[in-house]
Structure 1
Amino acid sequence: MMNDYIKTAWRNLGKRKLFSVINIVGLALGLAFAGIIGIYVYENLQVDRTQPSNLYRVITAYNSKTESNKTSGVGRALIPAIRQEIPEAEYVVPVRPFRTASIKIKNEHFYDRTILAGEYFFQAFNFPLLKGNPITVLQGPNAAVLTETTAKKYFGTSDAVGKILYINDTLAFTVTGVAKDFSSSHINWNILLSFSTFEGTTFDMSRWFTWDMTCYVTLKKNVTVKDAENKIAALPMARNGEEYRSFGHQVKQELEPVRDIYLYSPLPGLYMPKGNLKELYIFSGIGIALLLLACINFINLTTAYQSDRGKEVGVRKTMGASTGSLVGQFMVETLVIVLVAALLATGIVAVLLPFVEHISEMNLSLSVFRQPVIIAGTILLIVITTLLAGMYPSSVLAKLQPTDSMKGLKRMGKGNFRLRRILVVFQFVVSLILVMGTLVAMRQLRFMQEKDLGFNKEGIIVLDISKVPKKYLVDHYESIKNQLKEYPGIKSISGSAGMPGRFGWDGQTVMPEGFTQEESLTMEVIPSDQEYTKTLGITLKAGRDFSKAFSTDATNGVLLNEEACRAIGWTPAEAIGKRISSSGSGLDSGSVIGVMADYHQHGLQTKISPIVIFNGNKYTYNFLAVKLQTKNIQEAVHNVEKFWKAKFPGYTLDWFALNDDLNRQYKSEANLASVVKLFALLTIFIAALGLLGITLFTVLQRTKEIGIRKVLGAKLQDIITLVGKEFLLLVIVALLIAVPLAWWAMNDWLRNFSYRTSINSWLFVITGAGALLVTFAIVGIITIRAARANPVKSLRTE
């Protein structure tokens, strides 16, 4: 019997080619995009899922009279303290990024994600090794572990154990292990260097108030997490309470499960951006909506063509076919269509997945379908789609009475027709919400990109100088700047530890004049040279800029922004001449010489924060900002590259245009807007198919009526109005539902930005007008075709 069902299904697909193509394409698009979203959501949910459940990151929570905050960094002395005093901790692993590590291979320098890691790293984390012993690979000094891809990149083979790596030209490290490539962790590394190489030399491990380490702890079995956390939390104040209290700080440690860091922690990982849980909810909702829309189309199109099957149903019932067997037949037909659509969807996924992988910066691959949970999910998706798309039309067709179906009766029950109208409204509600959301997201993105940031972002290129030999750079700093300025088109140059869009030294303790140590504040401190504000075009509200005419500026001069003045309680005029210090930053005794107008050091997602700029040690400079006075940026860059090759042979010039780099801060929002725009267009297309189906159904039902009206003298526009007003009413109802929902959803999304655009009513007007226009076009074309048909043929239906 099943063979007969399948043969009948194929025969019917071939008979109604247009119906079959529309149904298969609609379902394929729904399945494909639901599948792509499913892969993306699954990969995000898998980040760190393979790590042990008893592995935790230790974070620092601190508060004072003026603020409360958290950081993923811990005091260096906490690491030996946990080892000594917390017996519940099985492994304690210090980790620190080594961002300026250059790897020298055949006189060429590479910069890969490098991390200093404690000796128990591979016992605590689940990163499988292809080569080397996990217990010993990081035990001794000058040991290195590479990922498989990195080993092949440097040595042409993954069998790199025993090979020598030179870090920053002078430090020789022996490769002791090669790790399997991975893609799902909040720690994204290519090279691990043994922490013991630097412990006790570069890093003084007795310091508590230098929160520049990340610490991971594996708890022993049968240990209560809360008890262990309470013991670890008390260590900072018990061991270093006097120093913390002298700065007005209360400090404690907290434990975060490593499996939860990517999606649930407010703090980032290492070399890996944070996941966005809200975005996953949005995408999951869109995926479900797309699948529902595709199924709704199937229902509408199937019922629109049900009259073609009426006589077939009547014959089968007269011959003794039961309702159950007819439902089974139609469900098999639906399954055949779904399977064909699933095969087409697989091809669409294969084509589009690299594009999604590029914009999401995640490793997405069709190999995910080898996972048992994905295989089961795919089968379940096909079953659910078959049931959603096929159950209603199958039951409707199977329940037709033989006498009615043999007459070719087209009219269905009012309740069924009402349901189809509800489904059409639902389709348009989803489409309209996505279109409105896309317009708001694009408006916010444009607002962020075009807003005056308080400095000149045009015509500035930034050179990354963190990856060149620092001693040479510092010794020849002024000479390098002067030589670069001799090239045509270069107006000014400034070095600093941070740039707009890039952090300086965030979270530094600052003590203004008149404040006790306990009342100290936390600000972002940016060491720079004296041309920083000039090069960036930052204006001053009070006082003056740095000047070589004042020798004390190089050692004591300080610039504050207006927000720093507000945090302290000074007006810009009052701030001039006041003393301020930040001993952890090297600013022991500063004097405020000027107050900058507030500018956006970071993206518009965050409020402007207090900033302190002073002439710090040149060893701290990471960037050179080059202000161009020419529009020919490529010529200027060519000159800089030529200079760079001469000064730093073997070191690739890493540069970026400041304007483009600032837009990088909004990459997540830009990607979201692009993806939602694509989904909005897709839902419009699917909704249009649904409207096509229900319009065909309506016109088929009213064929006689249209013929009679034509005979009685009705004009074409009268017939279009007769059929079209019902659908226009459905769109209006959809608008009344979608507008408040879209307004609420986008207002909620805009709350993520400290500086945001407004939601104007014209966005909804444009969306509504577009929906009405699409509806009028589809309904008009089908109705005109029916109205122009020969009335004699329209009336000859028996």
Structure 2
Amino acid sequence: MRRSPPRWAEQLLIWLHPSETLEEVQGDLDELYTYWYRRAGEPQASLRYVLNVISAVPPFVRRRHSQSSEYPQPSSLHPSMLSNYLKIALRTLWRSKGHVAINVIGLAVAFCICTFLFLTSYLQLTFDSFHTDGDRIFQTYYFSNDPEKPSKSGTMPLALLPALKTDFPELEAGAQIVQGRKSLVEYKGVYFDKLITLTDPDFLTMFSFPMLKGSRTRALHDLSSIVISDDMAKAVFGTDDPMGKTLLVGSNGDQKQYIVTGVMATPPYNSSIQFDALVRVENVPNYQARKQNWYDNSHRVFLKLPAQINQATFEARLKAFTKKYLGQNLDNLKKKGAKPDSQGDLFTIRLQKLADVHFDREIDGRGAPIAMIYVLLGISFFILLIACINFINLSIARSFMRAREVGVRKSLGALKTQLFVQIWSESTLICLVGFGIGLLLAYWFLPAFNASFQARLELHYLFQPGFIVLIVGVFLLVTLLAGGYPAWQMAAFKPVEVLKGKISLKRPGFLRNSLIVTQFSLSTLLACATIIALQQVDFLREQPLGFQKEQVISIPVGNQANGRQVLQRMRNILATDPTVVAVTGTDINLGRGKDRVSSRSSVGFTFKGREISSDLLLVDYDYFKTLNIKLLAGRDFNPTYAADSVNRVVVTASMAKLLGEKNPVGMFYRDDADTSGAQTQIIGVVPDFHLYSLADQAKPITIHISHAEPIRYIFVRVSPQSLASSMDRMKQVWKDIAPQSEFMGTFLDENVDAWYQSEEMMSRVFSLASSIAILLSCIGLFAVALIVIEQRTKEIGIRKVMGASIPGIIVVLSRDFVKLVLIALAIAIPLAWFGMDKWLSGYAYRIDINPWVFVIVGLSAFLIAIATVSFHSIKAALVNPVKSLRSE
């Protein structure tokens, strides 16, 4: 027969619930007394237990239902209450140091990685965003709907801007930007390599680079004026005032004098337009003649539209302008059978927003594709999401260990909101500590990250208003998502069910399953992307380039020496050196050397009614010998033939095919529009080779020699036996013949590898992200396995008593997780294949995705998941069934 509650218990419960009748609290009282009586064995022990519980509960909790003035209800956000929450949270967390450490480490690593990726994305997405009225500034570009392939080009003729200003006087501003290699700047006998940009006076008023000294409207009023950057002013003049000082710009014998009329702030990293100094565009060589040529494309043009004219309206007006000045291009396309595009254009001038310039590689061939930036943001979001998932799973796992504590607190008068705030404060503390440690890790590892990924991140970007808002928002979101859900779930426990032991998560919930599937889907996707990216980089490196890159040293001449003189001196010195096979010169480097310069020259003309376009390469004698390129027909350039340096060329096989001649050696050709009679003769044909990265299709090449054009790079082929000492030998020779110029020699195979830095960077980012994601996912799976097995302890004991084997129990405990991992693989693998196939489509030379990549990654993810779950499964299966049953 059930024993009725004693008088002291009735009075206690009435005191805790003064607004309720004895009948209203009778059920709770009965359940509580029965539970305590069974646990303690006698009423006196039960009383001591109750008193101990009550003494551990804050006084305001015992008065939660009181509405009288004697017991006023305090606010849960009162300062004293918040202090109490904090103290209890610190004590609770200290008792669970292992749980806290796992959460803090996971969040800290996630915050650190996300800080790096967020900063990288932030810098990219804010390119050119600092210009006032940037939404009204546009770059012009040509659109050509060629039958073979539609194309865009951002290089414009010098004739364009004057004509635009004449035909459209309403234009608010326009500036041409001619930006080439660095030039030699001399001041008082000291030389500096600086990037001199040629532009128009409107540049100073159109763009918002801060003007530190001088007037925006007058600084470029004269052809001899020069506006320098703040960094250049410090480098050249030190602490002296640069205004009015004279600088000499150009190589020896070809220098021009400029007077400093202004100082601008150095362009920030996130600016598409970079410069050390600005001079007038009229200083371009042969400016007056080139100004009349509509087909001499050499620079970029930026326009600022009036506020009342939008982009679409102005582009529509540019169609008639294009037909007026560039009608020949339209006629040539019609002859080729070109059809108008969806906007009705064959060939026209269009506008590109300033904000899009940095991300469009098709127009200018520079910048970062915006898809890559979104990938970085997505990866950072995924890593943060996985960390939050782990936090939730571990918090839920721990919530069942604290369920009885919560039940007793609620039975003794604690409000649901008070419990929520108490538990959420614990989660907030963990997030705050993890966030702080994550920022410290970011500070410590920032130099290593910058070095590994060629980044220019600085932590002071974190203190910009926009980024502060982002950081606070992310922190609040993580705290609310990762800490709020477990706190809400624990606060919602029903005290009677908790104390009767009815709280359980034996059935896998939708949320838990979704979290596991999400974690392993992201991890698998990143792992697949990493392997495919690495395979593509290796494929590009192993592809034949058409020349022998090994054993060739590439030396940039720089601006402080005459390339032709240096080349001749090197030939004289190395002529008797048995370790040197050949020496030559060129104006275009192969790969990317220490000077980081990449340039491209092209030539276009009409031949027999067909548009011909090819890369143009300036070389010196022995170029083909140095690179071990064999002739297919004809002969090499020869110094005994004077005409070789005037109007004779060697072409690649694809160029010969483009000209439509089976045997082009000896043939003459010229532009159909050129009536001067000047013709070019082909003296030789060589196999196709790559001047540029294999990310692009190899174009036909026209190779020529000209004694009037500068040599910018020297190539030296050395014998295989002398590789170890050859670089030191070149350094010594360089010091003797060009002591004023820095030696920046590199091996050509190193330069070629540098072509694929962006691909390597992406693969390294994927590798780092996938490693972190897999690690965090395993921690999350570890937590979920802990939840399930803790809840199935009694079931495991019963199964063992009924004769189940240890392997059988392990299978039972693991099969639900196996299903979830298989679902994750089924989701991730098609997404990985689709995404990477899309990425590979941007390469002219690409791999075919091997299905074995997905098999290996899937099997690895499967085994890792099984190993993670098996740790708990084996441990639970080995426990004595008597202990398992007693634990319930």
State which drifts further: 406-415 or 769-778: 406-415
State which drifts further: 302-311 or 627-636: 627-636
- Amino acid across the alignment from 1:35: T
Offset at residue 641 of structure 1 (A): 2.9
Measured in 1, the distance between the counterparts of 2:639 and 2:176 equals 43
Alpha carbons 1:88, 1:228 under 8 Å: kept: no
Pairing 1:583-602 to 2, within 5 Å after superposition: 588-602=678-692
- Amino acid across the alignment from 2:309: V
Offset at residue 521 of structure 1 (A): 1.0
Secondary structure of the residue aligned to 1:559 is: strand
Secondary structure of the residue aligned to 1:308 is: coil
| Aligned with 1:47 (options 101, 123, 127) | 127
Q: Structure 1's 15 and 242: CA in aligned 2 closer, same or farther, altered over 3 A?
A: closer
Pairing 1:643-792 to 2, within 5 Å after superposition: 643-710=733-800, 715-792=805-882
Q: Structure 1's 598 and 197: CA in aligned 2 closer, same or farther, altered over 3 A?
A: closer
Measured in 2, the distance between the counterparts of 1:397 and 1:469 equals 76
Measured in 2, the distance between the counterparts of 1:364 and 1:462 equals 31
Does residue 213 (structure 1) correspond to residue 316 (structure 2)? The answer is no
Does residue 176 (structure 1) correspond to residue 268 (structure 2)? The answer is no
Offset at residue 743 of structure 1 (A): 1.3
- Amino acid across the alignment from 2:630: T
Does residue 23 (structure 1) correspond to residue 23 (structure 2)? The answer is no
Offset at residue 402 of structure 1 (A): 1.4
Does residue 576 (structure 1) correspond to residue 665 (structure 2)? The answer is yes
Secondary structure of the residue aligned to 1:139 is: coil
Q: How far does the alpha carbon of each residue in 1:323-363 deviate from its partner, in whole angstroms, 9 at most, with x for none? A: 34333332232222222221122112223333444455554
State which drifts further: 190-199 or 546-555: 546-555
Aligned position for 1:85 = 167
Does residue 223 (structure 1) correspond to residue 309 (structure 2)? The answer is yes
Q: Structure 1's 79 and 264: CA in aligned 2 closer, same or farther, altered over 3 A?
A: same
Alpha carbons 2:290, 2:296 under 8 Å: kept: no
Does residue 305 (structure 1) correspond to residue 398 (structure 2)? The answer is yes
Measured in 1, the distance between the counterparts of 2:623 and 2:196 equals 30
Offset at residue 665 of structure 1 (A): 1.8
Pairing 1:134-145 to 2, within 5 Å after superposition: 134-145=216-227
Does residue 467 (structure 1) correspond to residue 559 (structure 2)? The answer is yes
Does residue 117 (structure 1) correspond to residue 199 (structure 2)? The answer is yes
Does residue 10 (structure 1) correspond to residue 96 (structure 2)? The answer is no
- Amino acid across the alignment from 1:376: V
Measured in 2, the distance between the counterparts of 1:566 and 1:385 equals 61
Q: 5+ residue gaps in structure 2? A: 1-80, 337-345, 593-597
Measured in 2, the distance between the counterparts of 1:65 and 1:767 equals 42
Secondary structure of the residue aligned to 2:588 is: coil
Q: How far does the alpha carbon of each residue in 1:543-602 deviate from its partner, in whole angstroms, 9 at most, with x for none? A: 44444576654444432222223333344xx33333234699999433333332222222
State which drifts further: 33-42 or 217-226: 217-226
Alpha carbons 1:474, 1:619 under 8 Å: kept: no
Q: Structure 1's 16 and 587: CA in aligned 2 closer, same or farther, altered over 3 A?
A: farther
Secondary structure of the residue aligned to 1:172 is: strand
Aligned position for 2:590 = 500
Offset at residue 711 of structure 1 (A): 5.1
Q: 5+ residue gaps in structure 1? A: none
Offset at residue 430 of structure 1 (A): 0.6
Offset at residue 787 of structure 1 (A): 3.7
- Sequence identity of aligned pairs in percent? 29
State which drifts further: 754-763 or 777-786: 777-786
Measured in 2, the distance between the counterparts of 1:496 and 1:507 equals 15
Offset at residue 57 of structure 1 (A): 2.0
Aligned position for 1:290 = 383
Q: How far does the alpha carbon of each residue in 1:249-307 deviate from its partner, in whole angstroms, 9 at most, with x for none? A: 986432222222112463238xxx41211101211211221121111111211122222
Q: Structure 1's 559 and 196: CA in aligned 2 closer, same or farther, altered over 3 A?
A: closer
State which drifts further: 681-690 or 63-72: 63-72
Measured in 1, the distance between the counterparts of 2:688 and 2:352 equals 35
Measured in 2, the distance between the counterparts of 1:210 and 1:154 equals 34
- Amino acid across the alignment from 2:832: A
State which drifts further: 624-633 or 585-594: 585-594
Offset at residue 431 of structure 1 (A): 0.3
Alpha carbons 1:314, 1:402 under 8 Å: kept: yes
Aligned position for 2:185 = 103
Aligned position for 2:50 = none
In the superposition, the TM-score normalised over structure 1's length comes to 0.91
Q: Structure 1's 729 and 475: CA in aligned 2 closer, same or farther, altered over 3 A?
A: closer
Secondary structure of the residue aligned to 2:679 is: strand
Aligned position for 2:354 = 258
Q: Structure 1's 107 and 484: CA in aligned 2 closer, same or farther, altered over 3 A?
A: farther
Secondary structure of the residue aligned to 1:102 is: strand
Alpha carbons 1:577, 1:592 under 8 Å: kept: yes
In the superposition, the TM-score normalised over structure 2's length comes to 0.82
Q: Structure 1's 753 and 23: CA in aligned 2 closer, same or farther, altered over 3 A?
A: same
Pairing 1:499-648 to 2, within 5 Å after superposition: 499-501=589-591, 506-511=601-606, 515-516=607-608, 518-547=609-638, 553-571=644-662, 574-581=663-670, 588-633=678-723, 635-648=725-738
Measured in 2, the distance between the counterparts of 1:683 and 1:243 equals 53
Offset at residue 318 of structure 1 (A): 0.7
Q: How far does the alpha carbon of each residue in 1:408-431 deviate from its partner, in whole angstroms, 9 at most, with x for none? A: 555226363x43133112111110
State which drifts further: 642-651 or 94-103: 642-651
- Amino acid across the alignment from 2:293: R
Measured in 2, the distance between the counterparts of 1:769 and 1:61 equals 48
Alpha carbons 2:137, 2:354 under 8 Å: kept: yes
Alpha carbons 2:158, 2:292 under 8 Å: kept: yes
Offset at residue 14 of structure 1 (A): 0.9
Alpha carbons 1:149, 1:158 under 8 Å: kept: no
Alpha carbons 1:495, 1:625 under 8 Å: kept: yes
Pairing 1:324-339 to 2, within 5 Å after superposition: 324-339=417-432
Aligned position for 1:69 = 151
- Amino acid across the alignment from 2:424: M
Give the aligned length. 786
Q: How far does the alpha carbon of each residue in 1:496-527 deviate from its partner, in whole angstroms, 9 at most, with x for none? A: 2324347775441145xxx43x4231111212
Q: Structure 1's 397 and 558: CA in aligned 2 closer, same or farther, altered over 3 A?
A: same
| Aligned with 1:484 (options 568, 574, 578) | 574
| Aligned with 1:154 (options 236, 241, 244) | 236
State which drifts further: 653-662 or 746-755: 653-662
Offset at residue 630 of structure 1 (A): 3.9
Offset at residue 175 of structure 1 (A): 2.5
Alpha carbons 2:431, 2:479 under 8 Å: kept: yes
- Amino acid across the alignment from 1:735: L
Measured in 1, the distance between the counterparts of 2:162 and 2:151 equals 24
State which drifts further: 126-135 or 247-256: 247-256
Offset at residue 752 of structure 1 (A): 1.2
Offset at residue 755 of structure 1 (A): 0.7
Does residue 59 (structure 1) correspond to residue 141 (structure 2)? The answer is yes
Offset at residue 384 of structure 1 (A): 1.4
Aligned position for 2:549 = 457
Measured in 2, the distance between the counterparts of 1:669 and 1:178 equals 38
Q: Structure 1's 500 and 469: CA in aligned 2 closer, same or farther, altered over 3 A?
A: closer
Does residue 371 (structure 1) correspond to residue 371 (structure 2)? The answer is no
- Amino acid across the alignment from 1:441: A
Measured in 2, the distance between the counterparts of 1:764 and 1:63 equals 39
Secondary structure of the residue aligned to 2:842 is: coil
Q: Structure 1's 623 and 691: CA in aligned 2 closer, same or farther, altered over 3 A?
A: same
Secondary structure of the residue aligned to 1:220 is: coil
Alpha carbons 1:524, 1:609 under 8 Å: kept: yes
Secondary structure of the residue aligned to 1:263 is: coil
Q: How far does the alpha carbon of each residue in 1:696-748 deviate from its partner, in whole angstroms, 9 at most, with x for none? A: 11221222333444556655434433323332333222222222221111111
